[in-house]
Chains A and B, each alone.
Chain A
């Protein structure tokens, strides 16, 4: 309270996903297992936000233990996408210093001083809360926010917070960012500390950053990146803060289009969006080439094996003794553990633990787990080959379609959904390289369509510079809620 401004984030409202430990604030991971868990410490990235003066507005809804791609499997209820939710909003086009376009939608100038709409945040994240809803659509007819960081994405998209933290293991930050029309950054593995981020897959998890603009994402990254003594998987290289103030010369950039990223189920609109941005880049002088990343089709199956195996290990800590849910079972430790875990975990979590332990059985270990580790190397090599052939960034879709309807999404179970939704996003987690999703335009249904850029590890400078260039070129409309 000395009156000194701590940083660019001083006084700025932020929110963090509910799998980040926040001192004395409930951290539930949207699970019964941790329903009343109050960590006695802050996650490192949360502490960094606080030290920078950011104001924590709340914890964001998520799929239970970050397992899911819809934010529908949560003890707090599912999260609705704000787009086409029935809430009234205006669409603003950014009349910044770059564009000469006088195209103004509804005459509003956009600024960073977004209104804090607390009640909207609560309302939007709770399926069962009907107050203030002007939606003519029936229950179950809304669009999902994506997952597993759906709450974080909606918090940013609705303007309730300036930035939110998500986590990204297989696309959990980029998927909801794509559906909710915000920027979702997955930094390089090892760049941001995972201390205090309740782990899902230790070899792939990274904290994710969700913001409205690429500049904001860079601001957050500059505050959060850096070696942490408390996380031995953070790299020791000194982090050079990003400076995006200079325009990038796009004619010096080589963009790769991996042909394997057109997968069955991809909508025409997503394909057209992908093509449209490739056109814009080419016409501006960038070199756009098609590349091959031949192991992409098997990446998602490989990811599923590694994910389930690490989950089986990571979830072993929940036994009801030191923290978390504990049933009244008294007969034996085994019975206590079994009953606590069966009550505390939902079907998805239990399913992954069982599958993971299956793959780790002695008789299956070489055929599934070891094989998956080898395939992981092949996938990572696909990326290395792309970079060594002179590619600066890769341009791909983020998701297969615009946001699905809730009723349609829940018709397939969690495991099935993740098996197709994560197709474009999880390879970056397998290789550890940074990736960013940015909204490009609206679909026929009025929902955001987004694209993904992937870059070399620890080259977020190039990645975000290209992202910012595209962001300026496409001028995606910003949603402003009417209060």
Chain B
């Protein structure tokens, strides 16, 4: 029985390597089922305005760098718009795949610590045993709008 099985595997391998016919196994979908959602079914394409740019840069503390960055965001929003047309009435949000399990607790015992040197070993700037930061509560200095970036480049 085992020999027969081994022989079958050999034949399978041979057949598989020879196959180049276009006919697919009946269970394989021959054409893509997915059709891209038509533009008119989606909400209107979002255009980012200056107020949003400023807000996002302040919240993220990274900058868009250039107009391409704004276009990239608009593309990302457009791509995400696909999920807005899905009917989710009565569906609960799924925060974690482990939602059916209880988060467990630890005993309140110290099991770690006393490693200040290691904790501070990667800081670029320290003073004695302190991390160092500049003054806070000073708003970011506004800069030229990226939306008019092309115009500014033309004028230069």
Contact = CB atoms under 8 A, between A and B. Distances in A.
Interface string A181-194: 00000000110000
Nearest to B55: A361
A356 to B, nearest CB: 8
B69 A374 contact: no
Main secondary structure of the interface of A (DSSP, over half): helix
B86 A375 contact: yes
B136 interface: yes
Contacts of A295: 86
A338 B73 CA distance: 18
B34 to A, nearest CB: 4
Interface residues of A, number: 105
Given A341-B61, A474-B13, A351 B95 contact: no
A298 B69 contact: no
Given A38-B122, A284-B12, A431 B97 contact: yes
A278 B27 contact: yes
Interface stretch (A118-126, A209-217, A315-323): A315-323
A325 B79 CA distance: 32
A304 B28 contact: no
A377 B91 CA distance: 8
B77 A358 contact: yes
A353 B62 contact: yes
Given A236-B104, A301-B82, A374-B88, A322 B33 contact: no
A226 B146 CA distance: 50
Given A262-B29, A341-B61, A355-B77, A235 B91 contact: no
B94 A376 contact: yes
Contact of A351 (B33, B73, B97): B73
Interface in B94-146: 94-98, 101, 103-104, 106, 115, 118-125, 131-141
B13 A305 contact: no
A101 B6 CA distance: 9
Q: Select the residue from B20, B30, B60 with max chain A CB neighbours within 10 A.
A: B60
A322 B98 contact: no
B135 to A, nearest CB: 6
B17 interface: yes
Nearest to A257: B27
Contact of B31 (A262, A298, A350): A262
Contacts of A372: 80, 83
B91 A355 contact: no
Interface stretch (A62-70, A74-82, A363-371, A402-410): A363-371
A169 B122 CA distance: 27
Interface string A318-359: 011111111001111111111001100101001101110111
A8 interface: no
A128 B81 CA distance: 40
B25 A40 contact: no
A385 interface: no
B153 interface: no
Contacts of A105: none
Contacts of B154: none
Given A272-B20, A290-B29, A297-B34, A350 B62 contact: yes
A85 interface: no
Nearest to B115: A40
24 contacts: A98-B6, A190-B97, A233-B96, A257-B27, A262-B32, A264-B36, A272-B22, A276-B19, A279-B16, A284-B12, A332-B137, A334-B136, A338-B61, A347-B65, A347-B69, A350-B60, A350-B64, A350-B65, A354-B62, A358-B73, A374-B92, A375-B83, A472-B9, A474-B13
Interface of A: 37-41, 98-101, 189-190, 203, 229, 232-233, 235-236, 257, 259-264, 266, 268, 271-272, 274-276, 278-280, 282-284, 288-290, 295-298, 301-302, 304-305, 308, 312, 319-326, 329-338, 341-342, 345, 347, 350-351, 353-355, 357-359, 361, 367-368, 370-378, 380, 413, 415-416, 419, 431-432, 441, 457, 472-475
Given A40-B122, A334-B61, 6 more contacts: A260-B33, A272-B22, A333-B134, A334-B140, A375-B83, A377-B94
